[in-house]
Structure 1
Amino acid sequence: SQIATWIPHRNDYLDALLAHEAPGLKQNTLKCQTVVHNDDGTTRACGTPSPTIRCRDCFSCQTIECVQCCLRRHKDLPFHRIEQWNGHYFKRTSLHGLGYKLHLCRFGAKCSNSTPGPRNFVVFHTNGHHRLRLIYCGCGTPVKSEQLLLFRLFPATTAEPRTAFTFDCLNTFHLLNLQGKLTLHDYYQAMIRMTDNMEPAPGIWRYHDAILAVREWRHLKMLKRAGRGNDPSGIRGTPVGGLAVECPACPHPGRNLPDNWETDLRRSWLYTQFIGVDACFKLKLRDRGFQDPALGDGLAYFVSDVQYKHHLKECTNVQDVEPCDAHHHAVSQMNTKNNNKKVLVTGLGAVVCARHSLMRKNAVADLTKGERQVTMDYIFWSTLADSNISMVVASYDIACSWSIHLMDRLRRNYADKLVQKFSRIGFIFMVPKVHLPSHGKKCRRLYDFQHQPHVGRTHGETIEQQWAHLGGVATSTVEMAPEGRRSALEDHMGNWNHVMKINMGKNMFWSLTEALNQSVKHRQLYEDLSSTFDEGTIQRWTGLIHAFERDKKAGKDPYAEPEQSQTYDQIRKRLEDEEKATEKDSESDGSTLQHDFSPSEYVQRALKLLDRQRAMTRDIATQQAEHHCTTADLQRKREVFRSDVRSLTKVAVLFMPCLALASEDEEVLPSTSRSIVHLPSSLVAAGLPLSGCVSGIVRAEEQMRTAEAADALEALCRMRRSYMGLIHKYKVNVFGSTSANTRSRAVLKGVGRKIHLLALKYRDARLALVALNPKGSWRDFLLELRDDDIRGPYPEEDEREGRREDSWIWRSRGRLVRQVLKLDGSVDGMRLSAEEELDETMLYMWAAARARFLRWQEEVHLLVEEMRRIIAFLHWQADSWLSKRGSRHGVVISFAADCYASRQADQCRALAASFVQRWAPLLKRTGHGEPWIHEYVSSLENTSLEDRDEEAVDEELVDAEDENEDGDQDEDQDVGRKNAVLDATDYSVYLTTD
């Protein structure tokens, strides 16, 4: 390992660290080597003897220079850390201690009208805090805070500031806080320790100034990136939610939807708005009595606090709770969550984009108690207030209770204008996939994404990503002032939205790649399963599904797992009857054996002996037979079996004369598990010819082996259905007494043993067919049975429904000989017969396979449409920025605002270009994305990015053209234009740059 190769060099590294503690040469032999410019333009070394000053932050940190050279060289580097040699070691000092003065003159020269500032002005930089002597300029703006801002110093106060924070300092904390959830207190303490790690300087506690500066900085960055500085109306003209980073993949009429989106009924489902609703009780707020003004009430992700509180007072808080089959704390505790008087806010309610995990604007509100419907209704309607979409799919973990009377509460608590608007929208309510299993059968019938048409692979759990992301700041925001907390949370929400936005290029690429592969796979699985049924059955089942989709509350649910009609006692009795029948056959076979029966009768008797042999081999291996047989019982069975084999072998010579060549000792081996039951297939395995066999016995074994394999496969499917049904019915849902659980485990063990024996029976029959007719037509449906093929018909506990692949045993059963299926029919007449029960299972499996295929197919179409919307939205955004140019008045600010608008427009087009170059090969290869992808690929030739200097592009970044459609990097490609289009990762710096 690399650390192992470094270990021998530790002393060398340690010595190198120690070397920085000394000047390098004896102090009395050193002279200042700093370059000085003469009046005639020549240069020379300063030459001042015994220099004592060095800078920790300059690259040439070992250079020792005199005081005058240090001050001259650091004229524009006021925040470097200085050390002075005292004859024994380098002691910390500062530019301020050397007499440095910072002149705030815009043109770099000393101002003749300068005004001295505070003698101990404190500036916090990324490397610690610094005391400075400020000299304000008197020929420009008289406002001191504005002078500081011109030099990238953010004042802590507006009047007579004595503390400032550099833009780099605020930017660094901003990014560390957003990325690593570093608290301001920890960052501030780190700056103090970077200045002096032994003893903080007295009078430098400016933590509360830092809190104000950070909050103001966050707000200003949101305003700037939202274009409020480019708008003549300024901050006061900010619309509701205008500071939010919106999802470019969601449908936005007038921005990224075609002109005919309302009339294109065939594709109307592609313009559905998917949203997720939920609450989080981790983001609490303690009541500390703080009162602070709001900087942007309702301008980003939170709803207006003033209007929200007014709504809570005015509306009727009637909880229309619809009972659910399962118990949910969100429902039962919606009014009793807050029992602590010291807690002002119990959590957050929010609405996100359910497909892309972006927080929606005006979609967040504080919870004062539990997950009350009045709060969740308010954020739901608020985020949809300015939406003109005609179809909304809403995901909520308690949608079964919340959605029932939602429109009634709308009419009761909201204005008629909103009622009319939302009455024109079609709503579909779903329960997130991970939360759905905790609901009852009724909810799974009505609110399952997997069985809802036109939703693709939407799972509704994206809001949990938001809670996981925001949970990292819960311990810091819980102590903040209310408005400061909202500002901090909105900042993190905006950061999350921006990161998700710039990563849509690769996320969409991999999502579409997976959807295309899964769509092909599940289409083939669905078609293979459908081919095992006749056309009439398919039409009948399809009609059931269409009827269910039209009205989920009425009729039969084709996706419901069939109820297990047989109980433990019934299955236990059937197993006991089968064991008794086997023992009876073993007792009668030897006594009734005659030499005058046909080849087919001989084969039938031999196969029965093989069944007994498999069962006894299993018992010998486990040293325990069914019903706890004693060793004597087992020995008796072995002797009876060996006697029957000897008797049958005497008859076998008549049908297979080649056996006479073998000695009698070889006919029956001493071990029961190795006793040979002679059949034509065993002759092939032993290398003996079949030519001498009696006519018809080879064909008889082949036909009976085919029927035996088919019978074993049908019985295996039946037993697997019983096994999984019993597990679901008893092991998962019932917690009985110890004796009841013991009996349940015993029955399950018996069913599992039966499944194992059926698998052995099938494998033996198939091996015999391979020996007898290796190229027969049986190979089309009697496939090799592996252990992992024995699964189904229902999903395992850790198996996801959308990616589940049914075993081939369920697809092959329709081709088998159904007449060999002989099941117990002793169940109650009102229940399904065993054959009908298996058909019900096949309906469930076929409907589930069809749903999986359709959802993946829909996902492909949704992803392609979302890709188009992303590119269209980014181009609209770029045009919007360009339209802002020339909006501001004043020479200086107008020019600066235009420059910023041009940069933002360029970044939007660059991001779109990188997405197009990443997606285009995949879309073209698979025949998707036309004609819009061709249009945008052509527009790349005209992008302004081609004017960029290639050297400005970071060589470490992977360009979009460097990747092929499979996401791999190509080595041999034309690089003439690729560096002009940057990958989305270039724009992560957008988080903290100006």
Structure 2
Amino acid sequence: MSLTTNPNLEYDNVDPEEINHCVGFAALWSANTRRSKGLRATGIGSVSCARSDMFRANGIGDLQKGEQYANMDYIFLSSIMATSLFLVTITYDIACQWYRNFFTRMTQLPSALQLSSRVDLRFRIPKFHLAAHKESCHAPFSLNYTKWVGRTDGEGVERMWSWLNKVSHSVSMMGQGGRQDTLDDFCNFWNWRKTVNLGDSLLKKMTLAIPQAAIHHQAFRAFTDGLHEQHSEELLEWENQVRAWELDHDQPCPFGLPRDDLTMSDLKKEMAEEEHRRVQRGEALPGDTSPSNFIITGLDIEAAQQELLVTASKHDLTTNTYMPGLADYIKEKGYEESTSSPELIELFLPSFFASTQRDLICQQGLPEFENRLRFAQATEALAHLRRQLRTHSFANSYKTRNAHSQGAYTRSRLLQNQIEVRIKAVRAQYDISRRSLLSLRGPGDWENTLKVLRAEDIRGINERTLNEEEQEEYRRARLLAGMSEETVEGELHGLGTTSGQENIPTVAFNRSLALGEGLRVEWVKARARAERWREEVLLLEEEMRRSIAYCEWKAMYWDNAATTRSRPPESNDLALFEGVRAYAYRQASYERRRVVMWKRQWAAIQERATLVLTTQLGQGDILRNNQAMLIAPPLVVELDLSDNEMEGMEDGDVEVGDVDT
């Protein structure tokens, strides 16, 4: 598996400008920071198959100074040059940076490593690593939104490293030849173990994929049916938008909610630049600190006061528990509550004073700094509140579906309590910011954007009360998804109903957000989940077919190897001839036995996969596809995976980093 020494090491090093586009993973920074003097190699890089978790031929090479682009380009291209694929999906934890000048760097490599222009490369980031990247990387580099990757997570190489790293101390002391031979042996053993365990691993993955594909297909169709009657135009618009984005990522992305234009960090940077320009013009500051820093410090103290007030209130409740006689003692001694508590100290920012007093007390221009910062603070708090409400809705849905035991319910309730504490804190921050803005600006059009928050507004999208019409629409969509009437009625009881007179919450659910942005995002994500699970079934079905076809071909290969060798005339070579032929026949027998075993092991699940694909998961436009739900008898599948066989393998029940599913 190992490569010989890369003869092209001098062609490029890490470009310092290229390591600043996104996150600073250790893989990239180590290229400039590792001490490599006197070392033949500081590590190894590898290329593996993301579907089967196997090391690729010519897919391992030495790294002289961390994961330099020169090394990784050479290893990757050496690994795929022998293939005849026209579409290659590449997952790499720094793909968002590595791909930028990849084709330019490739032109500096030998002609034998030049890819054809007909090969289409798609660069993606493994699911677990994607969360650490900037938000702008999430949708374009997500495997969840990439066609024809199924449920591949791209983290297989990390599972392989966790196993191969055990030999690192041994091989680090070896010579070059012995080290490469040892790595070859270990990588070949890994691949062989994965190969002989394909019968169980593919069966396990298919057993998970079929019901998940059916569930997500039905859920998406029910979601679509629930919107189709009254919002068919929006559905067609969303479908066209997501199709256009899948073809060209420069088109508007349908998977993300619009980012608020103004944040505190952006405004702080803007104010710092303004003050820097004033200093360059020779305008002196009135004190040791700038006006904006004076207001920012006050806002930071205000936030700390709110946090301290919550902590002090909790401590007071605990005090009454452990010191029940303290209240009587304080009353008897006549102690008064201290007004010098830090959480109660008034900061006297410009918004504290009336407009007539403000001009006399504050330096000219200071109220405007607070005005700008308060508006950014309120806008950011409102966006944060929406995120927390969506998180609360998800936690509530998760508790409803999964918390069937007392312990699970307690843990879910604890999570919801933590979210509710954050919601209260953010709501308090918003109220303070809005009151300050009202004092600074007075009534005006800005109140149409930053409205007064009422208690009934602080609800998640699935926690608002429903009127009778909405209740019936919700019931019909859930029944179409295959849920029982008892379950639907239980959910409706949790949501609640109204006579239609109660106001809809203005924070987490309103018509423009739900249909314009929020529902669109949920709909395209549901569409992506349904498509990825359907693709997973198709890919697994093809992988099973190819595994059997390969073993049948390999058996014929060994048969030919046994018969093409001619019988030697000298008797001295007869023993070798017989031994080679016996070995070839035995290998052919192994391959045929594996074919028989896999066919028997996969027959039932393959039949079920074909049935589901042809009757329920057809390749039709789901907006116009009205196939009936498949009703089939239960299928019992035996899985035989020992602990050793499971080591290093993907756990199909858990998709790391994918909260949506």
Q: Per the shorter chain, which TM-score range?
A: 0.5 to 0.7
- Residue 381 in 1 paired to residue 77 in 2? yes
Contact 1:312 1:374 in 2 (8 A): yes
After TM superposition, give the deviation of residue 358 of structure 1 in Å. 0.5
- Residue 836 in 1 paired to residue 547 in 2? no
Question: Residue deviations 1:728-757, cap 9 Å, x none?
Answer: 9xxxxxxxxxxxxx9986235899995899
Q: Measure, in 1, the Cα distance between the counterparts of 2:635 and 2:582.
A: 36
Residue 780 of structure 1 is matched in structure 2 by 475
Contact 2:457 2:505 in 1 (8 A): no
Distance verdict in 2 for CA 1:350–1:777, change over 3 Å = closer
Q: Measure, in 1, the Cα distance between the counterparts of 2:557 and 2:478.
A: 62
Residue 454 of structure 1 is matched in structure 2 by 148
- Out of 631, 634, 638, the position equivalent to 1:968 is 638
Residue 554 of structure 2 is matched in structure 1 by 877
Residue 133 of structure 2 is matched in structure 1 by 439
Q: Which amino acid aligns with 1:837?
A: L
- Out of 181, 188, 195, the position equivalent to 1:494 is 188
Question: Residue deviations 1:226-246, cap 9 Å, x none?
Answer: xxxxxxxxxxxxxxxxxxxxx
SS in 2 for 1:423: coil
Q: Measure, in 1, the Cα distance between the counterparts of 2:495 and 2:232.
A: 16
Q: Which amino acid aligns with 2:218?
A: Q
Aligned counterparts, 1:83-482, within 5 A: 301-305=1-5, 308=6, 310-313=7-10, 315-317=11-13, 319=15, 321=18, 323-337=20-34, 339-341=35-37, 343-415=39-111, 418-419=113-114, 421-482=115-176
SS in 2 for 1:967: coil
- Residue 845 in 1 paired to residue 485 in 2? no
Aligned-residue Cα RMSD (Å) equals 4.4
Q: Measure, in 2, the Cα distance between the counterparts of 1:334 and 1:870.
A: 39
Distance verdict in 2 for CA 1:779–1:343, change over 3 Å = closer
Q: Identity over the aligned pairs, expressed in percent?
A: 27
After TM superposition, give the deviation of residue 965 of structure 1 in Å. 5.4
Contact 1:881 1:902 in 2 (8 A): yes
- Out of 520, 533, 538, the position equivalent to 2:235 is 538
Q: Pick the structure with more strand per residue.
A: 1
Contact 2:92 2:124 in 1 (8 A): yes
Contact 2:552 2:592 in 1 (8 A): yes
Distance verdict in 2 for CA 1:442–1:878, change over 3 Å = same
Count of residues in correspondence between the two structures: 437
Q: Which amino acid aligns with 1:836?
A: S
Contact 1:470 1:492 in 2 (8 A): yes
Contact 1:914 1:984 in 2 (8 A): no
Contact 1:303 1:365 in 2 (8 A): yes
Alignment TM-score, normalising by the size of structure 2: 0.58
Q: Which amino acid aligns with 2:22?
A: D
Distance verdict in 2 for CA 1:778–1:335, change over 3 Å = closer
Residue 517 of structure 1 is matched in structure 2 by 211
Aligned counterparts, 1:443-842, within 5 A: 443-533=137-227, 534-555=231-252, 557-563=253-259, 721-724=386-389, 746-747=425-426, 754=455, 780=475, 821-822=503-504, 834-839=510-515, 840-842=517-519
After TM superposition, give the deviation of residue 560 of structure 1 in Å. 1.2
Ranges of 4+ aligned residues in structure 1 off by more than 4 Å: 564-568, 724-728, 742-745, 748-759, 761-766, 776-779, 781-784, 815-825, 928-931
Distance verdict in 2 for CA 1:491–1:778, change over 3 Å = closer
- Residue 911 in 1 paired to residue 587 in 2? no
Question: Residue deviations 1:823-853, cap 9 Å, x none?
Answer: 559xxxxxx9953223311111111111001
Contact 2:385 2:427 in 1 (8 A): no
Distance verdict in 2 for CA 1:778–1:455, change over 3 Å = closer
Q: Which amino acid aligns with 1:864?
A: E
Distance verdict in 2 for CA 1:512–1:817, change over 3 Å = farther
Contact 1:562 1:844 in 2 (8 A): no
Contact 1:918 1:965 in 2 (8 A): no
After TM superposition, give the deviation of residue 875 of structure 1 in Å. 1.2
Contact 2:465 2:498 in 1 (8 A): no
Q: Measure, in 2, the Cα distance between the counterparts of 1:915 and 1:720.
A: 53
Distance verdict in 2 for CA 1:750–1:425, change over 3 Å = same
Q: Pick the structure with more helix per residue.
A: 2
Distance verdict in 2 for CA 1:778–1:490, change over 3 Å = closer
SS in 2 for 1:349: strand
Q: Which amino acid aligns with 1:911?
A: R
Q: Measure, in 2, the Cα distance between the counterparts of 1:753 and 1:480.
A: 70
Question: Residue deviations 1:63-109, cap 9 Å, x none?
Answer: xxxxxxxxxxxxxxxxxxxxxxxxxxxxxxxxxxxxxxxxxxxxxxx
Contact 1:349 1:367 in 2 (8 A): yes
After TM superposition, give the deviation of residue 497 of structure 1 in Å. 0.4
Q: Measure, in 2, the Cα distance between the counterparts of 1:912 and 1:898.
A: 21
Q: Which amino acid aligns with 2:30?
A: Q
Contact 2:558 2:585 in 1 (8 A): yes
Distance verdict in 2 for CA 1:407–1:763, change over 3 Å = closer
Question: Residue deviations 1:444-485, cap 9 Å, x none?
Answer: 132110011111111111001110111111222222222212
Q: Measure, in 2, the Cα distance between the counterparts of 1:559 and 1:868.
A: 34
Q: Measure, in 1, the Cα distance between the counterparts of 2:262 and 2:388.
A: 11
Distance verdict in 2 for CA 1:542–1:816, change over 3 Å = farther
Distance verdict in 2 for CA 1:334–1:393, change over 3 Å = same
Q: Measure, in 2, the Cα distance between the counterparts of 1:909 and 1:836.
A: 62
- Out of 587, 592, 603, the position equivalent to 1:920 is 603
Q: Which amino acid aligns with 1:913?
A: V
Distance verdict in 2 for CA 1:824–1:418, change over 3 Å = closer
Q: Which amino acid aligns with 1:351?
A: V
Q: Measure, in 1, the Cα distance between the counterparts of 2:549 and 2:196.
A: 15
Q: Measure, in 1, the Cα distance between the counterparts of 2:81 and 2:212.
A: 37
Question: Residue deviations 1:540-593, cap 9 Å, x none?
Answer: 1111101111111232x111144368999xxxxxxxxxxxxxxxxxxxxxxxxx
Distance verdict in 2 for CA 1:558–1:380, change over 3 Å = same
Contact 2:206 2:537 in 1 (8 A): yes
Contact 1:335 1:369 in 2 (8 A): yes
Question: Residue deviations 1:904-927, cap 9 Å, x none?
Answer: 111111112211111011112342
After TM superposition, give the deviation of residue 352 of structure 1 in Å. 0.3
Distance verdict in 2 for CA 1:361–1:341, change over 3 Å = same
Alignment TM-score, normalising by the size of structure 1: 0.40
Residue 575 of structure 2 is matched in structure 1 by 892
Q: Which amino acid aligns with 1:918?
A: Q
SS in 1 for 2:148: coil
Where structure 2 has 5 or more consecutive residues not aligned to the other structure, the ranges are 265-312, 319-326, 328-382, 394-420, 431-452, 480-489, 615-633, 646-661
Q: Measure, in 1, the Cα distance between the counterparts of 2:528 and 2:478.
A: 26
Distance verdict in 2 for CA 1:902–1:403, change over 3 Å = same
Deviates more, 1:526-535 or 1:351-360: 526-535
